[in-house]
Structure 1
Amino acid sequence: MELYFMGTNAGVPSLERNVTSLALRLFDERRSFWLFDCGEGTQHQILRSPLKLSKLEKIFISHLHGDHLFGLPGLISSRAYQGGNTPLTIYGPTGLKQYIKTSLNISESRIDYQLDIVEHVGGHLFEDETFRVESALLDHRIASYGYRIVEKDLPGKLDSVLLSSHGIKPGPLYGKLKRGESVEAPDGVIIKPEEVLGSPKQGRIVTILGDTRPCPAAISLSEGADAMVHESTFLDELAQTAYDYHHSTAKQAAEAAEAAGAKQLYLTHFSSRYKSEDQLQQLLVEARQVFANSELAREHILYPVNRADGEE
């Protein structure tokens, strides 16, 4: 599981950075990736990335401001031409379906795959045997949501030496044991899962927040997160400006991460006024004064989401 940023600028693109888009790469877990927000130019950014649109499974839109969704119609239309024929589900606030349908209808775009659009007002959005996704309303000028992605715990490692002593080799019987089923070994011994399975691996938690002022929902969504992505539009000297425009400072993002007990914070959504590396470093310095495990999100870099034991 890795984070891959394709847009870290706020409002409009700049020569240095594109507008908001972030991929959660789940190649090992699902052989796919999920996209969070889709600012203008996102499909161009994907072409420069290790991602393939044919592997895109879900899109989560935080809110309906243009810098977070103007790239959506083009990306949806292009996906089929790049081998994307599997179903695609898009989640987002009320109004998202009208925006997508209107854009595709007026442009007479043909979608040759199953496209499902799920409008929501927060809560439990998705769950299967590997992941659960929850959402909550943040504090922004329009309805803006954060997303909490929870990986289910993984079965512990099998004791291959003990299993081999009973004549059990890697194969179907391994799968049954990992699913919690007892099996009969070739020597006639009944092997129970608890006898050969180590402790489960704790699932990881990733929180990706839309535009927001500091608010309780940002903290609750990020509780115990292994990776937390929080907008950091301004330096703290512009805290009043951030409040007026319903945004956050780097210091406020760090305060949220500290309050939530997050393990790693990624700062993103930088104002265009911060063009130089020195200016960006000021944002990082402010954040690290509050929360040491803060990083500036850089575009086109893979950031592994590590487990508590340090494994990816």
Structure 2
Amino acid sequence: MSMRVTFLGTSGAVPTTSRNPSAIFVNREGDRLLFDAGEGTQRQMMRFGTGFAVSDLFVTHIHGDHVLGIPGLVQTMEFNEREDPLTIHAPRGTGDEIEALVHAVGNRPSFPVRVTEVTPGETAVRREDYEVRAFRVDHDANAVGYALVEDERKGRFDRERAEELGVPVGPKFSKLHEGEPVELDDGTVVRPEQVVGDPRPGRRFVYTGDTRPSENVVAVAEDADLLVHDATFASDRADRAAKTAHSTAAQAGDVARRAGAARLALTHVSSRYANDTSAHRREANEAFDGEVLVPDDGQVVEVPYPDE
């Protein structure tokens, strides 16, 4: 099953000629999820071919560079004759502001738009084999991050071993893989643990939104396959990062290292570094041995399973 992450907006508080404000699109096996919607997000979705069939929008906080794209996005969906509902998830206490954005300039969407509020620790969305959880971050606003966490997968089925035990090829293979014992013609019972390996981990995608380095983020991002972390500044502006409740690239690298993440994507890059993010990459690499990305707008990242 595929999980594809498209970085629609990677800039900090203001857009640049090459970077839009915050927005990340995740396509998980056809489930299309959007995390934040800075101004112009609908144009980025057209530009990079994600389409508008988003079921859920997850807002980290209501600073403009994370939400000003909502009115345009909703109206573009309406112009495209959308009928499917859209659910917008936002930190508890910010629902009224999100509603105001949805209905900006008197707009009344012709399709259902539902706004829900989440608190850290709550599951915002539960689907058949994954969920999206809100978690606490450290920002100067009512803010959360989001973690997309897949359920464990079945262990691998050992066909060769099953045949050695006399299990005939066919429906009994499926029953064993589903966790049910089977009885052979001679009365022998073969149990799942004899032919099915240990459960295998699913994938974990973690998006912090805006935050200072946080012990809670370290805990939530444990063994993350992709951690997308605030890296607004390089170390030359560490004081500014602390004052404005953001992180440096080195701090993001340290969080990824302590969390044991596989890959780190640095985002929310200040316009100060719009033309040169080499310091971000270098400083994060000094703190973190895994793969470091400083994605450009439009970059697509595939998230494989941990055992692939």
Common topology (TM > 0.5) = yes
Deviation at 1:34, TM superposition (A): 1.2
Q: Report which stretch shifted further, 37-46 or 154-163.
A: 154-163
Distance 1:188 1:107, change over 3 A: farther
Q: What is the aligned partner in structure 2 of residue 64 from structure 1?
A: 62
Any conservation in 1 of the 2:202–2:306 contact (CA below 8 Å)? no
- Letter paired with 2:86: L
- Letter paired with 1:131: Y
- Number of residues paired by the alignment? 301
Q: What is the aligned partner in structure 1 of residue 16 from structure 2?
A: 14
> 2: CA distance between counterparts of 1:178 and 1:70?
48
Q: What is the aligned partner in structure 1 of residue 306 from structure 2?
A: 308
Q: Report which stretch shifted further, 223-232 or 131-140.
A: 131-140
> 2: CA distance between counterparts of 1:32 and 1:186?
43
Flag structure 2 segments of 5+ consecutive residues without an equivalent.
none
Q: Report which stretch shifted further, 205-214 or 195-204.
A: 195-204
Q: What is the aligned partner in structure 2 of residue 123 from structure 1?
A: 121
Deviation at 1:303, TM superposition (A): 1.0
Any conservation in 2 of the 1:233–1:242 contact (CA below 8 Å)? yes
Q: Over the residues paired in the alignment, what is the CA RMSD in angstroms? A: 2.6
Q: Of 22, 25, 28, which residue of structure 2 is paired with 1:23?
A: 25
Any conservation in 2 of the 1:73–1:104 contact (CA below 8 Å)? yes
Q: Of 277, 280, 285, which residue of structure 2 is paired with 1:280?
A: 277
Deviation at 1:77, TM superposition (A): 3.2
Distance 1:25 1:173, change over 3 A: farther
3-state SS of paired residue (2:36): strand
> 1: CA distance between counterparts of 2:248 and 2:148?
24
> 2: CA distance between counterparts of 1:231 and 1:51?
23
> 1: CA distance between counterparts of 2:183 and 2:207?
45
Q: Report which stretch shifted further, 41-50 or 99-108.
A: 99-108
> 1: CA distance between counterparts of 2:184 and 2:80?
47
Deviation at 1:134, TM superposition (A): 2.4
Deviation at 1:190, TM superposition (A): 6.3
Deviation at 1:245, TM superposition (A): 1.3
> 1: CA distance between counterparts of 2:177 and 2:48?
35
Q: Report which stretch shifted further, 95-104 or 203-212.
A: 95-104
Distance 1:207 1:104, change over 3 A: closer
Any conservation in 1 of the 2:78–2:109 contact (CA below 8 Å)? no
- Letter paired with 2:97: Y
> 2: CA distance between counterparts of 1:133 and 1:191?
37
Any conservation in 2 of the 1:19–1:67 contact (CA below 8 Å)? yes
> 1: CA distance between counterparts of 2:80 and 2:188?
51
Q: What is the aligned partner in structure 1 of residue 138 from structure 2?
A: 139
Any conservation in 2 of the 1:213–1:243 contact (CA below 8 Å)? yes
